[in-house]
Chain A
Amino acid sequence: DAGVTQSPTHLIKTRGQQVTLRCSPKSGHDTVSWYQQALGQGPQFIFQYYEEEERQRGNFPDRFSGHQFPNYSSELNVNALLLGDSALYLCASSLRQINTGELFFGEGSRLTVL
């Protein structure tokens, strides 16, 4: 049973560029959430997708956007990258029907902005 998979694992971008990160949820899960984790900090909630729509959003600017596909996979897009966007981006999946708060996280995509 495949868990949550994310790609790429590492990437380097320069300021002003755009980046797309990808996530495949755990088999059978229909809800995907994205988190940003800066060095030495806990993960911070970006947004959640369910039924291909953004359902909840954290305190992140519009430069952060996402998408969910019919197969439940998801993308996180960040435009006009800033140095402060350097972080580990984590994807978490869950099944909305049994909303117990147990999230399954991927290993993350580490973004470095130069």
Chain B
Amino acid sequence: DAKTTQPTSMDCAEGRAANLPCNHSTISGNEYVYWYRQIHSQGPQYIIHGLKNNETNEMASLIITEDRKSSTLILPHATLRDTAVYYCIAGDTGTASKLTFGTGTRLQVTL
């Protein structure tokens, strides 16, 4: 799996958009970009994934650059409940259960 690089921590004001970047410059053509988050003392929660095109669901939007070397997860209106560690993972569906988590970005949403 390709290595991903994320900032260690970020802050966001409640109600504002949270934009979490991720670099995956060595991603291969068949590897997806997955985002999970882990709220304190809970198991990781799937957010979204994509291959080439931008993706949106009820939780977030995923913007992938055209060269696929980086991506951004967007939480459009962050709330205090979005405070968590966010993990960006690159992997193919053949090893979809074998996700390689890094240390993620700790997002703190404040009033």
- A: residues with CB less than 8 A from B are 4, 31, 33, 35, 40-45, 48, 56, 58, 90, 92, 94, 99-108
Report Cα–Cα, A43/B85, bound state, in Å: 12
- B: residues with CB less than 8 A from A are 32, 34, 36, 41-46, 49, 85, 87, 91, 93-104
Are A43 and B93 closer than 8 Å at their CB atoms?
A: no
Which chain B residues border A48 with CB–CB below 8 Å? 97-98
Give 22 A-B contacts (CB < 8 Å), ordered by A residue. Answer: A31-B97, A33-B97, A42-B87, A42-B102, A42-B103, A45-B97, A56-B97, A58-B98, A92-B43, A94-B96, A100-B49, A100-B93, A101-B34, A101-B91, A101-B93, A102-B46, A103-B96, A104-B46, A105-B43, A106-B43, A107-B41, A107-B43
Are B97 and A42 closer than 8 Å at their CB atoms?
A: no
Report Cα–Cα, A10/B42, bound state, in Å: 13
Are A90 and B99 closer than 8 Å at their CB atoms?
A: no
Which chain B residues border A44 with CB–CB below 8 Å? 101
Are A99 and B96 closer than 8 Å at their CB atoms?
A: yes
Name the distance in Å between B67's Cβ and chain A's nearest Cβ: 21
Which chain A residues border B98 with CB–CB below 8 Å? 33, 45, 48, 56, 58
The listed residue (B44, B49, B91, B103) touching A41 by CB distance below 8 A is: B103
Report Cα–Cα, A31/B94, bound state, in Å: 13
Report Cα–Cα, A65/B73, bound state, in Å: 36
Which chain B residues border A41 with CB–CB below 8 Å? 103
Q: Which B residue sits closest to A106, measured CB to CB?
A: B43
Are B93 and A103 closer than 8 Å at their CB atoms?
A: no
Name the distance in Å between B103's Cβ and chain A's nearest Cβ: 6
Which chain A residues border B103 with CB–CB below 8 Å? 40-42
Are A92 and B87 closer than 8 Å at their CB atoms?
A: no
Are B93 and A92 closer than 8 Å at their CB atoms?
A: no
Are A103 and B97 closer than 8 Å at their CB atoms?
A: yes
Which chain A residues border B93 with CB–CB below 8 Å? 99-101
